[in-house]
Amino acid sequence: MEYIIDGTTFDWSYSELRQGYRYFIELTDDEFLADLPAVLHFACFVCFIKEIPSYVCLSDKGIIHELIHILQSGVDGSVARLSEIRQLFKDQLELA
pLDDT at 79: 62
Give how far Cα 73 sits from Cα of 33, 56, 60, Å.
12, 22, 15
pLDDT bin (cut points 50, 70, 90) of residue 2 is confident
What average pLDDT does this structure show over 3-21?
92
pLDDT tens column, 69-86: 888 877 666 667 899 999
The phi, psi pair for 34, rounded to 5°, reads: -65, -30
**Number of domains within the chain:** 1
| Residue 17 near residue 49, CB atoms below 8 Å | yes
- Domain span at residue 84 reads 2-93
State the chain's mean pLDDT as an integer: 92
